[in-house]
Structure 1
Amino acid sequence: MITDFYSRLKKLFTDSSLQSKLVWIYFLLIILPLGFFTFYAVHQLSALVKKQTLASVHKAFDNTADAVEGELGRLGSVLDILTMDQIVYQVSSQEHSDYSYTRRLADSTQLATTFEHLRLLSGVSSIRMYVKNDYLYSNQQHDIIPVSEVEGSGWYRSLDGSLSSFWFYPGDFSDQPEKERNWFTAMRVIYNPSNIHEPLAILRADTRASRLEQLIRQPGSTENGIYLLLRENEVLLSSSDTYSAELVSSCISQYTGDIPGQWESLTLEGQGCYALCSPLPQPGWRMAVLLPYGEVYRPSHTLRLEMLLVVCIVGLLSYGIALAISRSTLSRLSRLNQTMQAVEQGDVAIRITPEGKDEIGQLMGSFSRMMERIDSLMDEKVAYGREIKNLELKALQAQINPHFLYNSLDLISCTAIVHNVPEITRMVSALARFYKLSLSRGREVISIEDELQHARLYIQIQNMRFENRIHVEWDIEEKVKDCQIIKIVLQPLIENAIIHGIFEKPERSGTLSVSAGCREDGIRIIVRDDGVGMDATALHANFDPTPPGDITQTKGGYGIRNINDRLHLAYGAPYGLFCESIPGSHTTVTIFIPVIRPCPAKNRS
């Protein structure tokens, strides 16, 4: 089933027009990856925006909590200082015997001054003390108040006589006059040092509710983030008027606080929100922040719509550009296809003009050059056909010439013997053996021993011609003699050393040394002469390999480059000729070939 579907899909794609294929390729390779990338980018950016938003709100929340804690902490610090002041205990004492009216008045005045200094230094709004004695104080000391004036208030009845501090918010003063309902208050009961169960007075420090309200309304990182000051789950202050205190209290009651400092997901009026709480030093008091989901994900929603719009615009623009480029491309391919069809039908003279420098333009140019090359090759083929005919005639003649040459040399040798001229006999005999080894019965590969013998005969003939002016030193290892080598390699090198090296010297004589040895990597045959040497230009002309595609041109016989090319063709790139020459001193040519032993002869029946 799957294989059949794949085959149909493949056939549909194969049979479709090239323009349809380009559109599908555009969709698969551009639109799909771009869509997947956009989806991935939006997902990652949404997570990043959420993380950064929560981190920003968390930081602002911590700053707010620290500010509120500091504001409330100043109230507790003032009470701590006053509980250590001896005058507080003197003024609140109920002993009459040793406490004169003058001293009472002086102490109350000093205590009022202390209250004023602490208020100014700490920044609290007011400091008061409620006393149980019936001393008469100056009317100016309005910060020292008899307990009897507040015994009927709700906040006074809530004091249970413990040693801990008590914290109140404006709602706890609902039964008080209007001016007494706007305070956040810390209170502490003062006990008689001689009897810790006897309360003497109540110290009170106040700060205005508007100051705390200003602190929690200032730092909102988002428009609808809600900062809360709580006592248990009761809302004391809120930075937002959008939701009622009951809804907020119901929502915050879901907060578990299992992981301190960790955001939790809650439900506020049917909508999700993130919540974070931080405890305050005041017992049961804490700061909280509620952040609706919409505030967290609104930037990512906006970003998603923007990226989707950008993808659509880019996709449409890219499609239009791709369509225009495909039409331009296909028009050139269509003309190239028509030209190729014309050539297929036999019109080899047709040509196409290249357009553009891209791959299609290069293809059109390559096709045009190929047709020109085909015309050239066809002309060369005709010329080669004529040349081959000539070579075939020469080959037929070459089959006759060796027999005629051998017969002629035998006749010359016999004539020399009859006329008693042994020098001619030796010359003719060496020449006959030389040509016999050159022909080698049509074999292209001979033994190194035959190759060395061929070289010896050549040197012998040359010495007969030039009165033994060439001295030769041979150093041949026995184990290399039966190894194989392509023929007529050594003799041209020796010929070159004699004619262009030794005979170029003024005295036209010299020494030639020939050595052959076997190593692990191959066989090296070294020809060294003490001739005039060669300069760099001559070395390059004779020993550099023929460039690929060129044909070695030699004039009359085997050239040095011809030999090097033959060695490369026969044995590969690592092998060949290597030359070292010093002008005016010597020349050393090395033949490097692999070790090839002859195959053992098969038993004949």
Structure 2
Amino acid sequence: MRTIKQWYQDLNLQSKFTLVLLVIVAIPAIAIIFFFYGNAYDMVVSYTIRQEQDRSAQTAPLIEESLQKILDVSTEISSLDFYQTLFKNAITDSFSDLAESEDAADFSDLIRQLTQDTPVTNVKIYMEVPKEASADVDAFLNSDHLKDTFLSLEQAKGTYWYGIFRGTRAAQLFCPSFYLGAQEKKAYGDQAYITHASVIYDSGTYDAYIAVYYSGYDFNQILSENLTLDGSVSYIMNERNNLVSASSDSLAGIYWLDYDKIMESYMSSNSYVEQEILGKTVYVGFYRIRQPGWFMVTVLPSQPLITQSNILVLQFLAIYIAVLALAFFLASTLSKSITGRISSVISQMRTVRHGPPVPMDSPDAHDEIGDLIDTYNYMTRKMNQLMEKQAQAAEDLRIAEFNSLQAQINPHFLYNTMDMINWMAHQGRTSEVCNAVQSLSRFYKLTLSRKKGISTIAKEEEHVSIYVHLQNMRYHDSISFISDIPDELMEYQIPKLTLQPVVENAVLHGILETPTKSGTIVLTGWMEDKDVVLLISDDGVGIAPDKLPVILSGEGTSVSGGTNIAIYNTHRRLQVLYGDQYGLSYSSKLGSGTEVQIRFPAKKDGISEEQINTETK
């Protein structure tokens, strides 16, 4: 009791109101449910049987209608002139002459038409071949007009339906699936209506069978639509106590009833009868399919009916719960005027765990809760101001790092270039010094042409061309520089001094380290998704495998022992500007050369390639 008391005290006000209402309403409702449950099963059985009776009364005529269409096709075939000539009168002409007659052509065309808008899938006529006219009959069976309809009776021998005709001398027979041969079911249809006919020829009488094939799937579909209860089954049996069609073959086998028992016990009843089958209680109803003498049997197991009664009880319970929920809603509405706004403040404050705080709407009421909301909004504004200041400080730090990294690159290149000019001046090569100073002037004009640290690929390509020219002045044109960048890439943006440190590294630590101190540098590029990829390759001495992993870390050294600060700074600048997925990547084979890929997003004048494509469209 103490535990229950403490639990109740810890509940919020809204829960306390609804709990009291639950106790008041639930006790009488439980008594009603127990009373209702005792009568639910009888109600479900009565309702389901009445529903199935109505459906069966509609289903049986549908089956009879489908059978009548099949009988009509058979009757229409037997009324054709060619049929009358072949099976009603003695044949005086040769079979081959009959096959070439105009009636044969019309007969073949009409057979095809009869299978188009009816349940009939095919029509075949099986004829016994007289021995004395076997060659003539073979020509008849293989003629152009009749070969698709007429077959030798030899192809039917061995089927169950042929045995029935031979044993009973029946005139007609509706054949379920297992009466037919495998070839018939595969090629013509899985059920058939077959009639017997005779061919009179040369004072002899020979058997013929007209088979009108159709699909049993239509019957199965009609029977399946007849059912509303899970686990129930409808099936059709013929007068030979064989299964014709079923909504479920397996359930039909379980709930199979003997034809004679139906005839003896249930002919006087048109209602469902309770039966015990395999120790289970079922409700059985039947309808007579008059034309072939079939029975349609519907079996309703009791277990699904019990399940339905339980579902009915649950539905009643669900309705009651819905009413109870409405009562809860009314009670909650009363208490929510007090607790609702407090809960909204708590919920809004919890969002701080997943992101920046968001202010609430200004309160309509200025009571204690309104003052709480105003205080929360003031706190939110202050926190957002502090976060904006922090973000601005981070951005300032990023820009400062970028400027610092770029500043480290410029003195590095200037030192190397001035050293070259100094060397030429010592040699007394005045004209070449003049040329070098002019090239250096153009070089720095490109470097300092804009206040921002962003240039274009075209200007960077010119930049490194001047650099190689300056180096060739020093090293007697020992370096070949080939630029093969597609024209459509030239206007894309690239940070200044991105290519020059890589080319400088290729010259000083790649080509000039070879025995001949000569080599080739190739610059090319392409688009890859929404990125630009530039490739700088040389045929210098390459880089040892143990140095490749640390070359972009800022801690490695070059082949000649110098630092890789310029390369590291270039790589770091690209990552600071665009993200860690961009920058430089090295691949090299010692003694064969080095390749450097430079990846950065495709942008023109501050607009990304994706935006350019969208605007173009």
Shorter-chain TM-score tier: 0.3 to 0.5
Using CA pairs under 8 Å that are at least 6 residues apart, name the structure with larger relative contact order, 1 or 2: 2
TM-score, structure 1 normalization? 0.40
Tell me the TM-score normalized by structure 2.
Answer: 0.40
Which has the larger Rg? Answer: 1
